[in-house]
Structure 1
Amino acid sequence: MSPRPVVVLVGPPASGKSTVMRHLARRLGVEGRDTDTDVEEAAGLAIATIFAEQGEPAFRALERDAVAAALAGHGGVLSLGGGAVLHPDTQELLAAYAAAGGVVVFLDVSRPHAARRLRGDTSRPLLAGDAMTRWDELMTARRPVYEAVATLRVTTDVHGPRRVVDEIARHIERARHDAAPGTEEDA
């Protein structure tokens, strides 16, 4: 049986997925993996270049494949690109992962905090132009999906990565305890 992620992080741009992934992986003593990095490595191009030269559909196909591979074979902390959850195949894979006891964390962030974090960031092709108007549009479309696939929601607004990691780690430990033989639910 191939490994499965200890936890999967989902959320919008500026929610802190990459930062939380690194800190949480270190805390849990496992490897962190970001599907955006997987896409760039597979394509041999930066995401912005993929969008510019091949378009969003080509990027989304690469992303879908990267997510499927990581969910099937990564045994650490997995961070998904912000729009990865929109593909029905990815939603099905996340639902199966969660049904098998996996933890999917929606890292939520408010608009004001996202605006502060995105100020001056030109690396996100879907936020080109008026970044916050685009961010609002993305969140309108994506929030229901993030909420549907998540088994835990953690707000990253006022808590630094350490507090967010503590909350996720506590949740993982409770989930492991509840699933262990001999717990009250099994008695």
Structure 2
Amino acid sequence: MARNIVLIGFMGVGKGALARELVRCDSTLYALDTDDMIESMTNTRIKKIFATAGEAAFRALEQKTADWLAKNVTNAVISTGGGFYKVDNLKAIGTVVYLKADFDWILGRILNAPNAKKKLKKRPLFQDVEKARSLFAERYHRYEEVADVVIDVDRGDTRSVAEEVLRMAAQQ
């Protein structure tokens, strides 16, 4: 298996921020973001892909990205979109780490961010908070089922969570 750490979890839980912190903690790693990769590959924003092509087309792009990562990437921390856990070769990419937090903590994190409006606008599935809450309830246990490691992120600062992820991933 590739020496990658694949961060999964609900949108807004902090996968990107944690990926950057993990790279600061371990200079042998580099960070990739699957949503950024998809936007680069298609030259289209995620929100526009959802609006014009639909969710199924976006999920196909996630699978294409997963296939490429599994074949070509090592020593990376890969932050993923909230639905990336559904790709069929997730474990082939690396150690899967579920960043676990409750919905209200995630919502508070987004709403209290300095760029809250931008964070909300970027997440097409978070436009209706009650629909997002329902989606969270639907996905919550699936994240745990596919993860190699589960980390509660709502209990510590980003640095201590990063250190815990590195310790746990090293044991896999």
Q: Secondary structure at the match of 1:171?
A: helix
Larger deviation, residues 62-71 vs 36-45: 62-71
The answer to whether structure 1 residue 106 and structure 2 residue 106 are counterparts is no
Aligned residue for 1:71?
70
Output one character per residue of 1:88-113: Cα deviation in whole Å (capped at 9) or x when no partner: xx2x412455xxxx421100111221
The one of 157, 161, 166 aligned to 1:164:
161
* 1:63–1:84 contact (8 Å) kept in structure 2: yes
Larger radius of gyration: 1
Aligned length: 163
8 Å Cα contact 2:97-2:151 kept in structure 1: yes
Which amino acid is the alignment partner of residue 152 of structure 1?
Answer: V
**1:118 equivalent in alignment to 2:110:** yes
C-alpha separation between the residues in 1 aligned to 2:138 and 2:65? 22
Aligned partner letter, 1:83: G
Name the residue aligned to 2:4. Answer: 6
Structure 1 pair 12/161, CA: closer, same or farther in 2 (3 Å)? same
Distance 1:5 1:11 in 2: 20
- Where structure 1 has 5 or more consecutive residues not aligned to the other structure, the ranges are 176-187
Give the equivalent residue in structure 2 for 1:93: 89
Asked whether 1:59 is paired with 2:58, we answer yes
What TM-score does the superposition give when structure 1 sets the normalisation length? 0.80
Deviation track 1:113-161 (CA, whole Å, cap 9, x = no partner) reads 1111222422101111x22x12221122212221111111111113111
Q: Which residue number corresponds to residue 114 of structure 2? A: none
User: 2:2·2:92 contact (CA, 8 Å) conserved in 1?
Assistant: no
- Report SS of the residue matched to 1:58: helix
**Unmatched tracts of structure 2, length 5 or more:** 112-116
Percent sequence identity over matched residues?
31
Secondary structure of residue in 2 paired with 1:157:
helix
Amino acid at match of 1:17: K
In the alignment, what sits opposite 1:135?
Answer: 132
Amino acid of the structure 2 residue aligned with 1:19: A
